[in-house]
Amino acid sequence: MTNRKRILTGDRPTGKLHLGHYVGSLRNRLRFQDEYECFFIIADLHMLTTKPTKEDIYAIGDNARQIVLDQLSIGIDPAKVTFYLQSAVQEIYELQLLISGLVTVERLQQLPTIKDMASAAHLDQMPYNLLGYPVLQSADILMPRAHLVPVGKDNESHVEITRQIARRFNNLYGEVFPEPDAFVEGGTLVGTDGQAKMSKSLGNAILLSDDSRTVKKQINGMYTDPNRISADIPGNVEGNPVFAYHDIFNPNVAEVNDLKERYRAGRVGDVEVKEKLFIAVENFLNPIRERRDHYESQTGYVDELLYEGTLRARAEAQATLIEVRKAMGFTGVWNRVRRSVEKRQKKMEK
């Protein structure tokens, strides 16, 4: 067994991942896989808060496969991480119940993210499972006894809830859980429309699995400087999504600086800037496509990864739950009942 600290991160299985996911979290996972013992959760139970229909649930299987494929495609080594399905680790459900008394309703209601999620899902009333979303997240984090949890800035407060629950549990029952730290992931990628961060639902995303034709169409349609109606008019580089993408995906710094200088001076058109961005993004995506083709050609391989990873996660979860029940005293309650019954049965046999 490794002595490295553990990390818990993952995704809700709502569809394929895109360049925004890469900038926001996936590129960090490439580093984390060599520094931590990594548990990558497919958080399908969390979908029930906003996507509870049968159709949504039926789509989980394929979406989970696509998410794993996307991560393998960017270079995640399947030998270094554990992919698993949250809903198949029943111990998470039990731990959520056991820790639910360690946080108050008022504390959960203070989280702005919960209200934002309810608003985004157009919910008139707050469902119980949405209010309890951070408690389920805490169970996810505490089950493998993770030390680090990468999150966006808006979810940092959820990790703080987990730290409070871990602290209260340890104080009440004995030391079982480490207090996990949040790794706040910086960087978001504006969508190709320039209006919001990249999102599949807004149609402003470039998927990691998109083909060249789709990528070219998205880049050619990208928002630039709306005040620049011809190439000889000086344009703004700051706040211009095309140049934001160049800064991230074009490793040719000299070329990017030249484009910026000429753009500001009105000596280059959007067509050339976008064409060179297309080449840079294609150079970034081509190795990803090759790895994706490699893994997709192995029929059943991704399912096998999910199956074996889930079995491993369950084994870890069972070990954690044994410690939790023992610390809380539930093991002793059951053992006393069991011994009493066994003693009575032996008497009756005589």
DSSP classification of residue 320: H
Q: 100 falls in which pLDDT band (50, 70, 90)?
A: very high
CA distances from 94 to 84, 130, 321, 327 (A): 17, 18, 8, 15
Complete domains list, the chain, with CATH: 6-190+300-339 (3.40.50.620), 212-294 (1.10.240.10)
Classified as helix, coil or strand, 77 is coil
Tokens of 36: 């931590």
Q: Where are the alpha helices (DSSP H) in the chain?
A: 19-21, 27-35, 54-58, 60-74, 91-99, 105-109, 112-120, 128-131, 133-142, 156-173, 212-220, 241-249, 253-265, 270-296, 301-328, 330-349
Would the pLDDT of 1 be above 50?
A: no
Q: Are 16 and 184 in contact (CB under 8 A)?
A: no
Q: Please say whether the beta carbons of 204 and 193 come within 8 A.
A: yes
pLDDT at 319 over 60: yes
172-206 pLDDT per residue, tens: 999 999 999 999 997 789 999 988 889 888 889 99
Q: In the prediction, which pLDDT does 2 show?
A: 55
DSSP per residue, 103-160? S-HHHHHT-HHHHHHHHHTT-SS--HHHHTHHHHHHHHHHTTT-SEEEE-GGGHHHHH
Kindly report which listed range (75-79, 194-198, 303-307) carries the lowest average pLDDT score: 194-198
pLDDT at residue 134 in the model: 94
Across the chain, mean pLDDT equals 94
Cα–Cα distance measured from residue 277 to residue 115, given in angstroms and rounded to the nearest whole number: 38
Find the mean pLDDT for residues 305-326: 97
Per residue in 247-276, pLDDT (tens digit) is 999 999 999 999 999 999 999 999 999 999
Q: Enter the pTM of the model.
A: 0.91
